[in-house]
Amino acid sequence: MKLAVCLGILISCSAATAFQAAPGGLRPLRAHQRVGGSRAEGVCGLRAQQQPTLTMPDLSTIGRAAQELGQSLQYAAAQPLRARYCAAQVARFAFFLTQSTAVTVWGASGDANNRRLPIEISTIVGALTDAILKEDQTDFDLNVPLKDKPSLIPDEQRQLFNKNFQAIIDLIKTDLRNIEDGKYALPYDLEPSYAPQWSPLPVIGKINQFLSERDEVMERVVNRKGMEIRENFIAEKSRYPRYYLQNFHYQSNGWLSDKSARVYDYQVESIFMGMADAMRRQSIPAFAQHLNSIKASGTPEKDIKVLDVATGTGRYASFLMQNFPEMKLDVLDLSPFYLAEARKLLGKYKSVTYVEAAAEKVPSPEAEYDAITNVYLFHELPRPVRKQVVKEWFRVLKPGGKLFFVDSAQESDVPYSRVLEGFVANYHEPYYMDYTKHDLKEMFEDAGFKVDDTEVHWVSKVMVMTKPAIGADDVEEEAPAKEEVSA
């Protein structure tokens, strides 16, 4: 099955340099391009070595790709729901890709020592053609550590881009299939009527905020100022753990300002080329199945209680509420500024409660929740705190309840692990590399959870865990003996 997204990718990649970080995406602006005496690279260190430029795909290959794209357009137009989704998602992807292209060109064009862009147009076009045709032109090892190979030759770049583009196309296919199968509704923000997504003035405002913040971020990248928040933020020492008081992503004020909260969602979508929400949503099918089973057992939706941990601006929670608008949802976050943004987004849902607390100190009694959700938290926690958090979740979850977990993929999950390694190159992520090596399954099982399922969607990992029902193992062991007596 092909998708019209291929066409959007091909058209919007005409400038070709946008995806150089795969998935980080953005190079420093020209005023900040030297870090530690050498030129700062994209998140994956994809600066090309001075090798002969690749040629563009020949006419025959382009013709085959065009034929595939034509079939994609026919497929997308076959059903109204499919057409709405494809048009919106392609536009979203193209927008963020074009933005990254513009910032990349802006950052490189003014530097006399860097007139030549780090990625050739032919490399990207070739990778896109490969992705559309599902072909691998080369067979390079893309897991060589950055320290051993900081730069890639054009053929290696092409293969890396190809793998990432194919993973993005697969992610969009999965997202669409889930919507068409009724596992969750067409996301509200993909509807033309959703003003913040499609109206020019809100979008321009977000772009201005993003570019202003980006300039400040790059100053911190150059100076490696990941602890600036500890110098400028005054608060009760007991209120915020020390690990929390950092400028993660080198963003202004860490998690502790309204400025940071306003620009956060846009920053994340810029990093992931508009695909962050699609990755988050891949936990919703299992979540919906769990809640529907509770409802089928006789519990009304209004009596089901869910905890969303580290809700941030409430983005993921908004998709949950769109699909289950009557459930009781506690959204927990340690930042009052991010919770304020969550209130704006979730304010129409009266069953949502806002909880200001740390993930490892949930202010709830034991066995309070039917389900717990968590998105993109663990890679920003020290290993001992991760273990504390998991124990706390086990405590507040009901027996038979489920945990739905989304975070970064780990080193064994993707065929291009240098992407994960590259994430820390221009972002302040002190616990990320340890997270990529942490055995999550073992950690959850040690706390008492049963791991039901694990999936990887592009560069995100989705896990579903169950807190075993009391006496479930005993019932299973006794069942054969009872059957033998009755026989």
Q: Give the model's confidence band at 404: pLDDT under 50 very low, under 70 low, under 90 confident, else very high.
A: very high
Domain 276-473 class?
A: alpha beta
**CB-CB contact of 466 with 402 (8 Å):** yes
Token representation of residue 455:
């999936």
Q: pLDDT tens, 170-180?
A: 999 999 999 99
Helices within 248-382 (DSSP H only)? 258-271, 276-280, 284-296, 315-323, 336-346
Write down the pTM of the prediction: 0.84
Half-sphere exposure for 411 (CA within 13 Å, toward CB): 14
Average pLDDT of the residues in 172-193: 96
Q: Give the model's confidence band at 49: pLDDT under 50 very low, under 70 low, under 90 confident, else very high.
A: very low
The torsion angles phi and psi of 466, rounded to 5 degrees, stand at -120, 135
Average pLDDT of the residues in 389-418: 92
More confident site: 114 or 413: 413
Question: Is residue 47 pLDDT above 90, yes or no?
Answer: no
- Cα–Cα distance measured from residue 389 to residue 447, given in angstroms and rounded to the nearest whole number: 10
pLDDT of residue 119: 62
- Cα–Cα distance measured from residue 199 to residue 462, given in angstroms and rounded to the nearest whole number: 32
Residue 204 CA: distances (Å) to CA of 28, 42, 196, 207, 215: 21, 25, 10, 5, 17
Q: Give the model's confidence band at 43: pLDDT under 50 very low, under 70 low, under 90 confident, else very high.
A: very low
More confident site: 1 or 230: 230
- Residues making up the chain, counted from first to last: 487
Question: Is residue 143 pLDDT above 60, yes or no?
Answer: yes
Q: Where do we find the tokens 């995406």?
A: 25
Q: pLDDT tens, 263-316?
A: 999 999 988 989 999 999 999 999 999 999 999 999 999 999 999 999 999 999
pLDDT of residue 115: 41
pLDDT of residue 471: 67
Token representation of residue 290:
């769990």
Average pLDDT of the residues in 369-382: 98
Helices within 112-226 (DSSP H only)? 121-133, 154-180, 195-198, 200-223
What is the crossing angle of helices 154-180 and 5-12, to 10°? 140
Residue 270 CA: distances (Å) to CA of 72, 97, 134, 462: 25, 8, 25, 21
pLDDT of residue 107: 55
Q: Give the model's confidence band at 474: pLDDT under 50 very low, under 70 low, under 90 confident, else very high.
A: very low
More confident site: 158 or 68: 158
Token representation of residue 231:
């110098």
The candidate with the shortest Cα–Cα distance to 111, out of 217, 208, 16, 34, is 34
Residue-range domain boundaries for the chain: 5-195, 208-271, 276-473
More confident site: 54 or 427: 427
Averaged pLDDT score across all residues of the chain: 81
Average pLDDT of the residues in 317-341: 98
- Cα–Cα distance measured from residue 275 to residue 60, given in angstroms and rounded to the nearest whole number: 31
Question: Is residue 457 pLDDT above 60, yes or no?
Answer: yes
Give the number of other Cβ atoms within 10 Å of residue 364's Cβ. Answer: 17
Planar angle of CA 325, 284, 306, nearest 5 degrees: 50
Average pLDDT of the residues in 343-366: 97
pLDDT of residue 304: 98
Segment among 186-190, 232-236, 387-391 with least mean pLDDT: 232-236
The candidate with the shortest Cα–Cα distance to 248, out of 342, 90, 376, 361, is 376
